[in-house]
Amino acid sequence: MDLGIAGKWALVCGASKGLGFGCAQALVREGVNVLIVARGAEALQAAERTLLDDPQRPAAAEVLHVAADITTPAGRAAVFAVRPEFDIIVTNAGGPPPGDFRDWDREDWVKALDANMLTPIELIKGAVDGMAARGFGRIVNITSSSVKAPIDVLGLSNGARSGLTGFVAGVARTTKLASANVTINNLLPGVFDTDRIRATVAGQAAKTGKPVEDIVAARKNNIPARRLGTPAEFGAICAFLCSQHASYITGQNILPDGGAYPGTH
């Protein structure tokens, strides 16, 4: 299927690895010009090289990178200094650490809100009117399955990401945006094979003394698909939501989790 977005410009955040990289790769393979951003310069440069060397990348698709912290005003300014307008924006920031809410102070909450709620809102705010004026815009926020099924030790993430979800539910449905072919959706990943999950599993193994293989097997056993998701398939979903064919999908929470969530909505 031709997604109809070749030649568009996309900003993909947290794109040096994992799900962000999967989204960037899927878009590049569709002929989208991509500006990738992340904090780690070395990993980001390696990701850029991988994308440029991808044999499935159309020759005309450009790949640029900016090493910056997108959650700060200075980081966002650095990104928009390279290119002021985008047709597609994929927001993504690592989740806050787990823990007991009794141990978190106001600074912990503000940091979580800045990264996982306010930064996406700032990016949306800065982009949607230009997108509407041009008659095309796609924003995809990478959030978490915990928005649907909150996890007690991820209170910071539950709170911040749920706030973003509520905001998107309202703004995505405004006639000014929806009628101008501007869509905003959220992707809620379940358990995917990423560095973050591997680090979490390693931490569990160190804490419990159980072998990593046993912990991974238990994780898979709790998923009806009996496997972890891959960044590539996550990226493919993202690319479709960014496509010309997805103009009738907005304000939605898409949950790729291998069937783990037991609810109906």
Name the pLDDT band for 169 (thresholds 50, 70, 90). very high
78-82: Cβ within 8 A, 24+ apart: 79/11, 79/35, 79/37, 80/126, 82/35
- pLDDT value at position 98? 85
Q: Residue 201 pLDDT > 90, yes or no?
A: no
Phi, psi (rounded to 5 degrees) for 202 = -60, -40
Q: Residue 61 pLDDT > 90, yes or no?
A: yes
Nearest to 239 by CA among 10, 48, 50: 10
Name the pLDDT band for 197 (thresholds 50, 70, 90). confident
Name the pLDDT band for 128 (thresholds 50, 70, 90). very high
Q: What is the dihedral of CA 14, 252, 30, 91, to 10 degrees?
A: -20
Sign, CA dihedral 178-184-185-186, equals negative
Mean pLDDT for the stretch of residues 191-211? 86
**Token pair of 151, please?**
């996890």
Mean pLDDT for the stretch of residues 173-193? 97
pTM: 0.95
- pLDDT value at position 37? 98
Nearest to 189 by CA among 20, 44, 9, 33: 20
Nearest to 31 by CA among 11, 53, 3, 12: 3
- Region of poorest pLDDT, from 16-20, 177-181, 201-205: 201-205
Angle subtended at Cα 173 by Cα 91 and Cα 156, rounded to the nearest 5 degrees = 40
Give the integer Cα–Cα distance in Å for 24 and 232: 10
Mean pLDDT for the stretch of residues 197-222? 88
158-161: Cβ within 8 A, 24+ apart: 159/109, 159/112, 159/113, 160/96, 160/112, 160/113, 160/115, 160/116, 160/117, 161/95, 161/116, 161/117
Query: What are the tens digits of pLDDT across the range 149-163?
Result: 998 888 999 999 999
Mean pLDDT for the stretch of residues 57-83? 97
Give the integer Cα–Cα distance in Å for 112 and 93: 10
What's the Rg (C-alpha) of the chain? 18
Maximum alpha-carbon separation in the chain? 57
What does pLDDT average to over the chain?
95
Name the pLDDT band for 205 (thresholds 50, 70, 90). confident
Q: Residue 121 pLDDT > 90, yes or no?
A: yes
- pLDDT value at position 152? 87
Q: Residue 94 pLDDT > 90, yes or no?
A: no
Q: Residue 46 pLDDT > 90, yes or no?
A: yes
What whole-number percentage of the chain has pLDDT above 70? 100
- pLDDT value at position 83? 96
